[in-house]
Amino acid sequence: MDHLSKEARSALIAKIKAKDTKPELIIRKMIWRSGFRYRLYDKKLPRTPDIVFRSKKKVILVNGCFWHGHICCKNQLPKTRTEFWNQKISKNMMRDFNNLNRPHALGWSTLVLWECEVRNSLIWERVLKFLTS
Ligand SMILES: [Zn+2]
């Protein structure tokens, strides 16, 4: 059941879409505390990646589950205008797919993290491995 009003739903979605999303902030904080330094939203790279390590030629993307169509408990389409959301998210997924390999072509590596993984303690091992390998 969709218990949110149209207005509340729009407000919620506007919040999700904004930069500096909460999952991303959590990841950035962890990375910063461990002494790694990065840039944000580097427009010189395809898709202006979220977290960029120029000297390492590495980028970390933090994907919102809803917007990027992750198959997990957090990803539930609104019950109204389902077809609209379906198409919108399919488009995002297609764009992700096309963009994911572009940094590779320039010699960069990409690590994709999902919003729903951020609170999992194992995520930090993956981030460390990615940044130090
Ligand atoms: Zn997810």
> In the beta sheet, which residues pair with residue 61?
112
Average pLDDT, the chain: 80
Residue 48, amino acid: T
Predicted TM-score (pTM) of the model is 0.71
What is the whole-number distance in angstroms between the Cα of residue 87 and the centre of ligand 1? Answer: 18
Give the mean pLDDT of 47-55: 82
What is the whole-number distance in angstroms between the Cα of residue 61 and the centre of ligand 1? Answer: 13
Q: Three-state DSSP class for 77?
A: coil
The Cβ-side half-sphere exposure at 18, using a 13 Å CA radius, reads 9
Give yes or no for residue 15 having a pLDDT over 60. no
The single residue listed with the structure tokens 């505390």 is 33
Residues near ion ligand 1 (CB < 5 Å) are 65, 70, 72, 74, 114, 116
Residues 112-121 have pLDDT tens digits of 999 888 878 7
What is the whole-number distance in angstroms between the Cα of residue 106 and the centre of ligand 1? Answer: 28
